[in-house]
């Protein structure tokens, strides 16, 4: 890695960063409603986004800076096992096609802003709603932190991060500035800011990938040489390979399936979904979002290219930024770094909004101030979105980066345990609310304890997300094992509780709510209090 600052790349990076900052603040005026003091407006963009805005927003939300850096980094370090992210993003779209339109309809009919709102309304259980909300907030925090890790990786490669002996404040000042800008425009513009910036972020990423996938192999002698160099490295290291090793195939399959089930349980995925203006927008998006999976597959190949290019880094997360600096002219390296940096801002903004909405709706309003007005909800949500980002920043500045990565893996294990309550509830009222809560608790405890027991070369605990599956003996994804236990406990206890005639709670939804669309009888095009001033 170079010791000095790459001035040209840094200048290009700063110009793009300034441009999206201006866009972030201007977004407050974009499709502005007369009454903006509501979570529908600040937290869901007035529920008014069409197909393309939703597509860019979901893409910007799901395909993060960490994806840009970490997926090819996993290929660089461990071989084809890192490709698990590609099949899981392919698996997820048919899955969400079945349940996201139903969630949109019932949420639009009843004014639900979060998944916990739906769970409370469906099962009449504030306890179950609280469990889903706390899980969502806990799982989101390290995810936001990883976006900041992505920015930090780019700054380090550009030589702006400072050396090891640099004063901590000077070293982290660029990250603090980026954080401050993110916090300010999210506070002022809400979900409209990342929705607008997502256009720039996704366009930049598509340009960078298109250039990289053609230009870098030409410089390295073609794909044959790229794969040859990668195979040689894996053979010498006796680790990984161009195909997953036989011993790791259960891990690969369970991690892909478990991650697919978990992806749209994350609060930020649901926030982006509920911001769209009709269920048809959701259905169209599930058919065109796989374009991002194609991009992800091409992106993963950069890990092989980094090996062929002779990139040497102690931290694999720096491999792709370093590859860009080594292979591209300085000005285009700046464009690539801007794509990664902006790719961190979009999801970090949406994640902080989603976590804030969960706190406001399902902790503050349900348990602290039940009579809170729409304006009070919005004010609390804005403040909590700042606190969430501050927590993520402290996480990044005080903890080793591998800790942040492993806590995000733990977040994936946790968020998967909300699947039975959310997706199960969208199709059936059969599950008992107490059984769902008990299943969630069992899954959370098993997943956390199992992950705690996994060691890695850098950590005694929380060193990974794979462990032996009880009763099978193969190594598999802890989250999926915990999920199976969760479902088993939920089903068994539901039979017992129904037999004992335990109180089931009041379901405030009706069957026709799950197929309702904007403009249907009894369904408003937009929800109060944000009815006026928002254009379609």
Q: How far is CA 238 from CA 107, 152, 232, 233, 351, in A?
A: 51, 31, 10, 8, 39
Per DSSP, helices labelled H in 309-432 are 319-327, 330-359, 374-398, 401-416, 419-427
- pLDDT score of 345 more than 70: yes
Q: How far is CA 373 from CA 39, 182, 195, 470, 532, in A?
A: 11, 27, 26, 49, 18
* Continuous segment of H or E residues that includes residue 173: helix 168-189
Stretch among 105-109, 394-398, 480-484 having the lowest mean pLDDT: 394-398
pLDDT band at 449 (very low <50, low <70, confident <90, very high): very high
Give the model confidence (pLDDT) of 118-176 as tens digits: 999 999 999 999 999 999 998 988 888 888 877 887 888 887 765 554 555 556 777 78
Q: What is the mean pLDDT of residues 4-21?
A: 85
Percentage of the chain with pLDDT > 70?
Answer: 89
Q: What's the CA gap between 178 and 249, in Å, rounded? A: 40
Q: What's the CA gap between 60 and 350, in Å, rounded? A: 9
Percentage of the chain with pLDDT > 90?
Answer: 23
State the pLDDT at residue 255. 87
- pLDDT score of 7 more than 90: no
Residues 6+ apart with CB under 8 A from 521: none
3 state DSSP class of 456: strand
DSSP 446: H
∠ at Cα 492 (429, 511), nearest 5°? 5
* Continuous segment of H or E residues that includes residue 477: strand 475-477
pLDDT band at 31 (very low <50, low <70, confident <90, very high): low
State the pLDDT at residue 120. 94
Give the model confidence (pLDDT) of 33-80 as tens digits: 555 667 777 777 767 787 888 888 887 777 777 777 888 888 888 787
The C-alpha torsion from 446 through 402 and 227 to 92, rounded to 10°, is 40
Handedness of CA 208, 93, 134, 116 (dihedral sign): positive
State the pLDDT at residue 521. 64
pLDDT band at 533 (very low <50, low <70, confident <90, very high): very low
Residue 175 and residue 154 in contact, taking contact as beta carbons nearer than 8 Å: no
Residue 107 and residue 412 in contact, taking contact as beta carbons nearer than 8 Å: no
Q: What's the CA gap between 416 and 480, in Å, rounded? A: 8
HSE-CB at 383 with a 13 A cutoff on CA atoms is 8
pLDDT band at 239 (very low <50, low <70, confident <90, very high): low
State the pLDDT at residue 86. 84
Q: What's the CA gap between 491 and 54, in Å, rounded? A: 36
Sequence spans of domains, the chain: 7-400
Residue 413 and residue 447 in contact, taking contact as beta carbons nearer than 8 Å: yes
Q: What's the CA gap between 24 and 22, in Å, rounded? A: 5
State the pLDDT at residue 409. 79
State the pLDDT at residue 250. 86
State the pLDDT at residue 403. 65
Task: Tell me how far apart the 2 most distant CA atoms of the chain are, in Å.
Answer: 71
Most confident of 237-246, 289-298, 454-463: 289-298
State the pLDDT at residue 420. 95
Mean pLDDT over each residue of the chain, to the nearest integer: 83
Burial class from Cβ neighbours inside 10 Å (0-12, 13-18, 19+) for residue 312 reads: exposed
Q: What's the CA gap between 323 and 157, in Å, rounded? A: 10
State the pLDDT at residue 271. 85
Residue 463 and residue 455 in contact, taking contact as beta carbons nearer than 8 Å: yes
The better pLDDT of the pair 436, 286 is held by: 436
3 state DSSP class of 137: helix
Give the CATH superfamily of 7-400.
Sodium/glucose cotransporter (1.20.1730.10)
Task: Find the length of the chain.
Answer: 536
- pLDDT score of 501 more than 80: yes
The first and second tokens of residue 325, run together, are 């600096």
State the pLDDT at residue 240. 63
Give the model confidence (pLDDT) of 65-75 as tens digits: 777 788 888 88
What pTM value is reported for the model? 0.88
Give the model confidence (pLDDT) of 288-342 as tens digits: 888 888 888 888 889 899 999 988 888 787 888 889 989 999 899 999 988 888 8
């Amino acid at each position: 890695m170079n010791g000095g600052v790459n001035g040209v790349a840094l200048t290009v990076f700063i110009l793009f960063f300034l441009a999206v900052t201006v866009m972030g603040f201007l977004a407050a005026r974009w499709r502005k409603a007369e009454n903006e003091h509501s979570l529908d407006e600040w937290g869901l963009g007035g529920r008014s986004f069409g197909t393309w805005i939703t597509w860019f927003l979901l893409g910007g939300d799901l395909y993060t800076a960490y994806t840009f850096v970490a997926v090819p980094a996993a290929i660089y370090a461990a071989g084809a096992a890192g490709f698990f992210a590609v099949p899981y993003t392919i698996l997820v779209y048919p899955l969400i096609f079945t349940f996201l339109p139903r969630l949109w309809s019932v949420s639009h009919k009843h004014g639900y802003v979060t998944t916990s709102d739906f769970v409370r309304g469906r099962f009449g259980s504030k306890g179950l709603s609280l469990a889903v909300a706390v899980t969502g907030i806990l799982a989101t925090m390290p995810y936001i932190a990883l976006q900041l890790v992505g920015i930090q990786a780019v700054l380090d490669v550009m030589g702006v991060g400072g050396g090891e002996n640099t004063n901590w404040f000077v070293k982290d000042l660029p990250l603090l500035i980026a954080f401050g800008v993110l916090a300010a425009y999210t506070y002022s513009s809400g979900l409209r800011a990342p929705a607008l910036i997502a256009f720039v972020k996704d366009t930049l990423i598509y340009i960078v990938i298109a250039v990289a996938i053609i230009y870098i192999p030409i410089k390295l002698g073609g794909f044959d040489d790229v794969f040859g160099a990668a195979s040689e490295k894996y053979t010498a290291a006796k680790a990984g390979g161009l195909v997953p090793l036989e011993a790791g195939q259960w891990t690969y399959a369970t991690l892909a399936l478990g991650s697919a089930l978990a992806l749209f349980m994350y609060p930020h995925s649901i926030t982006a979904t509920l911001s769209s203006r009709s269920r048809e927008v959701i259905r169209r998006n599930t058919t065109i979002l796989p374009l991002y999976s194609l991009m992800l597959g091409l992106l993963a190949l950069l890990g092989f290219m980094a090996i062929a290019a002779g990139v040497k880094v102690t931290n694999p997360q720096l491999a792709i930024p370093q590859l860009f600096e080594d292979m591209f002219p300085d000005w285009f390296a700046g464009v690539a770094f801007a794509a990664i940096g902006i790719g961190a801002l979009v999801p970090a903004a949406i994640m902080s909004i989603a976590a804030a909405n969960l706190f406001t709706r399902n902790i503050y309003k349900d348990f602290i101030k039940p009579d809170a007005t729409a304006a009070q909800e919005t004010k609390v949500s804005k403040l909590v979105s700042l606190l969430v980002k501050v927590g993520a920043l402290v996480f990044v500045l005080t903890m080793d980066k591998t800790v942040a990565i492993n806590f995000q893996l733990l977040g994936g294990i946790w968020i998967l345990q909300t699947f039975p309550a959310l997706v199960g509830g969208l199709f059936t009222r059969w599950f008992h609310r107490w059984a769902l809560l008990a299943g969630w608790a069992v899954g959370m405890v098993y997943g956390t304890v199992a992950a705690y027991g996994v060691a890695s070369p850098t950590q005694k605990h929380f060193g990974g997300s794979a462990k032996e599956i009880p009763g099978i003996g193969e190594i598999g994804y802890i989250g999926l094992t915990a999920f199976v236990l969760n479902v088993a406990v939920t089903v068994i206890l539901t039979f017992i509780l129904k037999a004992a005639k335990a109180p089931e709670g009041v379901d405030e939804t009706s069957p026709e709510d799950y197929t309702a669309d904007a403009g249907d009888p009894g369904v408003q095009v937009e929800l109060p209090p944000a009815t006026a001033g928002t254009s379609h």
